[in-house]
């Protein structure tokens, strides 16, 4: 039992990050989708490392945006731009195609289009600006840990609630392995929600609602325009939640919420 869960955790870490981790004893498509329950736990790890970078950089540069820029950059390095790539591809595909088939083809194209480039730049700029507004080691740490964990939890919930739509032969997952189960989605959601306890209640509520509302946009757009989700759409959902969550915290703090 413990060995199986450790395999799932290692699989989640290898899939979502570039961090060196022990390989699972046996790799399979089913192991990958079963590991989805731990995606938010990997988010906790990434968020924690990013928080450490931000706090260390603030000791060198107490004011200015450089600590936030370095923090966002480290997050991209840790994940290999995995979610950012999905955001850019989804924006290009959903914004540029005329039919579901065209949209999916654009999303599979490795070239970056105007829509994707603009959205990616916009989202990164918002994350940097929102982080630069935060003060206090506790608030910074809580914001980053919550944003990363809940962003990935939102993607897992989407996997549970939405149908998969893409070319099965071109997918990393086989059809039989895409069935995220209800208890797995609930585990992921529980892990993602747990760090909210680190934030003041009103700030946590505002940020979580902002993140959820933003994550709905790519989810509903994908459901309407291509009939469901793809891996790129999940990346867009994660990025939308993470960005809006950080923006929500910055707004709540600026308005004096406690």
Question: pLDDT tens track of the chain, all 258 residues?
Answer: 777 888 899 899 999 999 888 777 776 778 888 999 999 999 999 999 999 999 999 999 999 999 999 999 999 999 999 999 999 999 999 998 889 999 999 999 889 999 999 999 999 999 999 999 999 999 999 999 999 999 999 999 999 999 998 765 555 555 444 589 999 999 999 999 999 999 999 999 999 999 999 999 999 999 999 999 999 999 999 999 999 999 999 999 999 887
Q: Please check whether residue 34 lies inside any domain of the structure.
A: no
* Whether 188 contacts 157, CB under 8 Å: yes
The total number of structural domains in the chain stands at: 1
CB atoms within 10 A of CB 169: 6
- Please give the residue range of the domain that contains residue 139: 41-80+126-165+180-254
Q: Please check whether residue 100 lies inside any domain of the structure.
A: no
Q: Please check whether residue 117 lies inside any domain of the structure.
A: no
Q: Please check whether residue 71 lies inside any domain of the structure.
A: yes
Instruction: Give the whole-angstrom CA distance, residue 82 versus residue 91.
Output: 15
pLDDT at residue number 118: 96
Q: Please check whether residue 106 lies inside any domain of the structure.
A: no
pLDDT at residue number 176: 47
Residue in the structure block whose two tokens are 């950012």: 84
Residue in the structure block whose two tokens are 């910055």: 250
Q: Please check whether residue 214 lies inside any domain of the structure.
A: yes
Of 156, 162, 164, the C-alpha closest to 37 is 156
Q: Please check whether residue 35 lies inside any domain of the structure.
A: no
CB atoms within 10 A of CB 10: 19
Q: Please check whether residue 150 lies inside any domain of the structure.
A: yes
């Amino acid at each position: 039992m413990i060995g199986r869960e450790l395999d799932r955790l290692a699989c989640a870490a290898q899939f979502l990050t570039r961090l060196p981790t022990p390989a699972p004893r046996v790799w399979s498509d089913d192991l990958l989708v079963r590991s989805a329950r731990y995606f938010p736990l990997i988010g906790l790890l990434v968020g924690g490392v990013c928080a450490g970078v931000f706090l260390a950089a603030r000791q060198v540069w107490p004011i200015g945006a450089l600590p936030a820029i370095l923090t966002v950059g480290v997050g991209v390095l840790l994940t290999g731009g995995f979610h950012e790539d999905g955001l850019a591809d989804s924006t290009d595909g959903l914004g540029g195609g005329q039919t579901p088939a065209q949209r999916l083809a654009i999303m599979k194209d490795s070239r970056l289009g105007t829509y994707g480039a603009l959205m990616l730049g916009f989202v990164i700029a918002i994350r940097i600006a929102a982080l630069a507004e935060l003060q206090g080691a506790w608030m910074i740490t809580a914001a980053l840990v919550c944003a990363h964990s809940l962003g990935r939890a939102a993607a897992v919930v989407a996997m549970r609630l939405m149908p998969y739509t893409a070319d099965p032969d071109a997918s990393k997952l086989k059809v039989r392995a895409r069935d995220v189960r209800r208890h797995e989605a609930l585990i992921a959601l529980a892990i993602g929600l747990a760090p909210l306890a680190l934030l003041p209640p009103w700030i946590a509520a505002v940020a979580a609602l902002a993140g959820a509302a933003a994550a709905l946009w790519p989810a509903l757009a994908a459901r309407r325009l291509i009939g469901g989700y793809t891996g790129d759409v999940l990346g867009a959902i994660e990025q939308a939640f993470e960005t809006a969550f950080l923006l929500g915290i910055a707004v709540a703090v600026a308005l004096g919420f406690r």
